[in-house]
Structure 1
Amino acid sequence: MPSTASLSAPLVDLGGVTLSLASLAGQVNVLRGIDLCVAEGETVGIVGPSGSGKSTLLMVMAGLERASSGRVQVAGADLSALDEDALARWRRAQVGIVFQAFHLIPAMTALENVAVPLELAGAADAFDRAEAELKRVGLGHRLDHYPSQLSGGEQQRVALARAFVARPRLLLADEPTGNLDQGTGRAIMDMLFDLHAQDSATLVLVTHDPALAARCGRVVRVEDGRAFEVTA
């Protein structure tokens, strides 16, 4: 599937990507030759039925799943050429990820959770930057609270702060409002798009919500492990 906008090298360049996994029933072909380019600064919504490969595609972009074959070039790196340590360093510098499940560390405060990626990168000002990011998402009064002391919406705001704190070039969001009520989910998505605009990050968003996908500049539908451009 050709890109619609690529004046320079795309930030995400996938060509003929396949991914097969072994199961008790035999080999399962999850991705079946995905071609997808995403330009720097673009917003792309990925839609499709459950089990179609949407989340797996996102994980391939993040280097959390290795493609069985094909070209996976993201944010200047050929992910197939990186070992696990190099992938982790690359991901820490280039990618922010927001999941449906918040994946906060229960024994850490909000401030500590947001500071983690910066500490791993050796940033001396990790906690100052984490505090500033939490204030940016309206949680300056919750710095010392643990995840169990926060509402679902507050936990997702902490997850947003953690995803944005290192100023990644690529933000990947996998059903980020799936565990939230409608009103809270809408507020979180408004915040996600606002942060994207402020930081000029590239956003790839997996969602079941057509209205949410329509907020993106482009929509891609995944069905049976294949990707199709959605036209108006």
Structure 2
Amino acid sequence: MPDPVLSLKDVTLRLKGNAGPVEILHGITLDVEKGETLGLVGPSGSGKSSLLMVMGGLEKASSGSVQALGRDLTQLDEDGLARFRRDHMGVVFQSFHLIPTMTALENVATPLELAGDKDAFSRAAEALETVGLSHRTGHYPAQMSGGEQQRVALARAMAPRPDILLADEPTGNLDGKNGQAIVDLLFDLSQQHGATLVLVTHAPELAARCSRTIRLDDGRIATQHPKAAE
């Protein structure tokens, strides 16, 4: 059996709070296989987003190991983590995080340029076409709807063809119709490029599309559910 794409062993996360240290994650052990779609569910404050951030090296685990594609992220410095994410990960946030002074095309091309891709703009244009925004390449975020901005963010995350795609409440700021369109795109693009998808969601219908769901409660894995056979 091939090595997992993501492997967490006894991971804890402790952050500083006003009244002292706060335990966010407690001894999380978890493997995610190549091509898997994993949904992280649970009540607000259960540690879902924190776990996703630890998987992406955006939060450093307080103890334990976080392996991604065989690299221990807990042993990398900030520059090393940034390079690893640039080369292997795509991240989609609920709040889009687009650069307001850049057009849609420039927003999508930027990570490709930083990676030294000579075809950055043509690949960015192709990614925008894939998410149905070829007519919006020259528009700035403020000129686009929330659904369009999220599609730009998704194009930006997928354009480098990442091995791992992390999505934190990707439909949280969208209405039902736009949210469904983003969900369809997320799974279609993941399947097309063979990316391993891990997403945080409160939406049962979104979790149901994942091949496995993990429910967190108070920073611990409460239950795991493989998708029932079709």
Q: State TM-score, norm by structure 2.
A: 0.96
Q: What is the one-letter code of the residue matched to 2:69?
A: A
The residue type equivalent to 1:98 in the other structure is: V
Which residue pairs with 2:192 in the alignment?
A: 198
Deviations 1:175-197 (A, max 9, x none): 00000001110111011111111
Question: Where does the alignment leave 5 or more consecutive residues of structure 2 unmatched?
Answer: none
Match of 1:125 among 116, 119, 132: 119
- Equivalent residue for 1:145, pick from 139, 145, 152: 139
The residue number in structure 2 matching 1:109 is 103
Amino acid in the other structure paired with 2:32: V
Aligned to 2:218: 224
3-state secondary structure, aligned to 1:141: helix
* Cα deviations by residue, 1:2-34 (Å, 9 ceiling, x for unpaired): xxxxx2110000000001011111110000000
**2:79 equivalent in structure 1:** 85
Partner SS for 1:20: strand
Contact 1:105–1:113 at 8 Å: present in 2 too? yes
Q: Is residue 46–residue 205 contact of structure 1 (8 Å, CA) maintained in 2?
A: yes
**Structure 2 counterparts to residues 171-210 of structure 1, below 5 A:** 171-210=165-204
How far, CA to CA, are the matches of 1:91 and 1:75 in structure 2?
A: 11
What is the CA deviation profile of residues 69-127 of structure 1, one whole-angstrom value per residue up to 9, with x for unaligned ones? Answer: 00100122110111111110000011000010010000000000000111111111111
Tell me the distance in 2 between the aligned counterparts of 1:181 and 1:132.
Answer: 26
Secondary structure at 1:230 match in 2: strand
Equivalent position amino acid for 1:187 in 2? A
Write the distance in 1 (CA, Å) between the matches of 2:216 and 2:106: 36
Aligned to 1:213: 207
Counterpart of 2:31 in structure 1 is 37
State how far apart, in whole Å, the 2-side matches of 1:26 and 1:120 are. Answer: 39
Cα RMSD for the two superposed structures: 0.9
Following TM superposition, the consecutive aligned residue runs of length 4 or more in structure 1 with deviations greater than 2 angstroms are 228-232
Question: Which SS does the other structure have where 2:116 is aligned?
Answer: coil
- Structure 1, unmatched stretches of 5+, are 1-6
Query: Per the alignment, in what secondary structure is the counterpart of residue 124 of structure 1?
Result: coil
Counterpart of 2:135 in 1: which secondary structure? coil
Q: Kindly provide the CA deviation profile for residues 115-161 of structure 1, in whole angstroms up to 9, marking residues without a partner as x.
A: 01111111111111101110111111110000001111110000000
Partner Cα distance (1:228, 1:78) in 2? 25
Identify the residue that residue 4 of structure 1 maps to in structure 2.
Answer: none
Q: CA deviation at 1:168?
A: 0.3
| Corresponding position: 1:64 with 2:58 | yes
The residue identity in structure 1 corresponding to 2:76 is L
SS of the aligned residue for 2:170 comes to coil
Q: Deviations over 1:27-70 (max 9, x none)?
A: 10000000110000000000001011100000001100000000
Q: Give the whole-Å Cα distance in 2 for the aligned partners of 1:198 and 1:136.
A: 11
Identity of aligned pairs, percent?
Answer: 65
Shift, 1:229, TM fit: 3.5
Q: SS in structure 1 opposite 2:65? A: strand
2:6 & 2:170 partners in 1: Cα distance? 21
- Secondary structure (helix, strand or coil) at the match of 2:136 reads coil
Instruction: Figure out how many residues of one structure are paired with residues of the other and give that number.
Output: 226
SS of the residue 1:173 aligns to: strand
C-alpha distance in 1 between matches for 2:19 and 2:77: 30
